[in-house]
Amino acid sequence: MTRLHGALVASAIAVAAATAGCSGGKPPTAATSELSTPAPLADAGASGPADDAEASLSSKESKAVARTLARVSEIRGVKASRPVPGVKLERDKLVGRVKDKALREYPAEALRREGQLLQMFGFAPPTFDYLGEMMKLLEAQLEGFYEPKNGTMYLAADLRGKEAEATLAHELVHALQDQNWDLKSRSSYRPGKGDETLALACLAEGDATSVMMDFIMHEQGRTALDLPEEMVRELMASGVNGASIKGVPHILRTTLVAPYIDGLSFVHALRKKGGWAMVDRAWAQPPTTTEQVLHVDKWESHEPAIPIPAPSALALGAGWKLDDEDTFGELGFALAFEEWVDAAEARRAAAGWGGDRSAVYTKGDELAFAVHSRYDALPFAERAMQKLTPGLKKTLGKASIDAPDAVCFERKDLGPFILARKDRDVVLATGPARAVNTTWTSTSTCAQAKKWADEILATR
């Protein structure tokens, strides 16, 4: 799992310092650490583990890692079963290693489709380079990551002081998670399991971030639970809005930071109920949906997702092939809705999620996408329509179909975009449209989109 928490580390330190000052305590000092002035290391490059020995930490640094591992193990209440080797890389090498990892573990076609879907929704421009923009985010934010496949921790070579200590603590929590709950098998790419994968990422990052904040604040005799939750959420969210990444699509930034922010809220809810032992229970029975992450009572009751079949596409005509299917989940919908309405309204529109399934259809160079969701009760579905419709009109302009239970917008490039509801079921569909290089052309109309939405809504 890639750990994108550079700005979040700085935010966590800032929160700890600010709240300490407000409460009359002493802000954390820039205590000296063996990692503050690292010894020169050999260039590890972006190759595999075989080269890592040349870039291993010095003896002094390794001892510092061992002490930090012992400290986070004590804070977390989980034993380390083995030492954790560390490698320091120049930032470009660190980013290169993550890029190579992504290309090895994720099918190139899946990465390309991700970018195309962001374009079809209007969340990214036609010239959008998905992998390139992700790397831009990495260059700005990546401070380190733990690699479950070889049990090694990788850190940026330019880290110093408290930032280095906090990043090290965060990554070592991931090592503890791996040693106790097998991150290696759990972090593998699983097609069609998007929501479940995001739920696990929330648990992993929330756990590591909470321990990291305890680690930062231990000199004050305080823990992460002493911090105002809203302040933490706001500062962590602001950490991925720096000038260097302003051009990166908003949804990429919010999606990357969500496991840390929403995962931290989940873990803190568990800690308040039953301490770290409750978090251990979550690892023994991980959340299977992001709904369980956002509503801890649903995790406690093991509320499952409502099974929904992948949307069919008979209304599109002959020749269309199901290319991929997945699940958005409540958090996925909340992040998507945030592109049309403010964050609070987006969360309310997504709340009450019961289950969903999405499908990508292709026909030559044409694409079409639909997601069919079912809410737990009719009022939730009605509320989603009421909250999203004004935002869509503001974003997309005048609707060609404008009815209480369906709005559709003609788009000459990306094809029609429709939001439709029947009882407690809601459908979002975009396309069909033809993609040739960076040029999109609509190949459908709202009339056909409405027939497609009606077909999907008739599925039970």
Domains of the chain (ranges; CATH) run 6-300 (no CATH), 314-457 (3.40.1000.70)
Q: Whole-angstrom Cα distance, residue 426 to residue 457?
A: 7
> How do residues 189-245 score in pLDDT, each as one tens digit?
788 899 999 999 999 999 999 999 999 998 888 999 998 888 888 878 776 665 456
Q: Whole-angstrom Cα distance, residue 162 to residue 148?
A: 25
Residue appearing with tokens 């105002």: 228
Give the pLDDT confidence score for residue 28 in this predicted structure.
Answer: 27
Provide the 3-class DSSP secondary structure of residue 395. helix
> How do residues 354-366 score in pLDDT, each as one tens digit?
999 999 999 999 9
The answer to whether 145 touches 171, Cβ cutoff 8 Å, is: yes
How far are the Cα atoms of 123, 271, 283 from residue 280, in angstroms, in the given order?
A: 37, 10, 5
Provide the 3-class DSSP secondary structure of residue 82. coil
What's the token pair of residue 342? 């403010």
Give the pLDDT confidence score for residue 403 in this predicted structure.
Answer: 97
Give the pLDDT confidence score for residue 91 in this predicted structure.
Answer: 80
The answer to whether 337 touches 346, Cβ cutoff 8 Å, is: yes
If we measure between CA atoms, which residue out of 350, 329, 354, 352 comes closest to residue 339?
A: 350
Q: Whole-angstrom Cα distance, residue 167 to residue 143?
A: 7
The answer to whether 129 touches 115, Cβ cutoff 8 Å, is: yes
Model-level pTM? 0.87
Q: In what order do the strands lie in the sheet with 152-156?
A: 86-89, 152-156, 144-147
Residue appearing with tokens 């699940």: 327
Residue type at position 43: D
Give the pLDDT confidence score for residue 86 in this predicted structure.
Answer: 86
Q: Name the β-bridge partners of 358.
A: 326, 371
What's the token pair of residue 128? 């959008």
Give the pLDDT confidence score for residue 381 in this predicted structure.
Answer: 98
Give the pLDDT confidence score for residue 51 in this predicted structure.
Answer: 46
The answer to whether 201 touches 1, Cβ cutoff 8 Å, is: yes
Query: Which residues of the chain are under the pLDDT cut of 70?
Result: 1-56, 137-141, 239-246
Give the pLDDT confidence score for residue 242 in this predicted structure.
Answer: 56
Give the pLDDT confidence score for residue 401 in this predicted structure.
Answer: 98
How far are the Cα atoms of 1, 48, 142, 170, 350 from residue 157, in angstroms, in the given order?
A: 20, 18, 11, 16, 41
Q: How many residues does the chain have?
A: 460
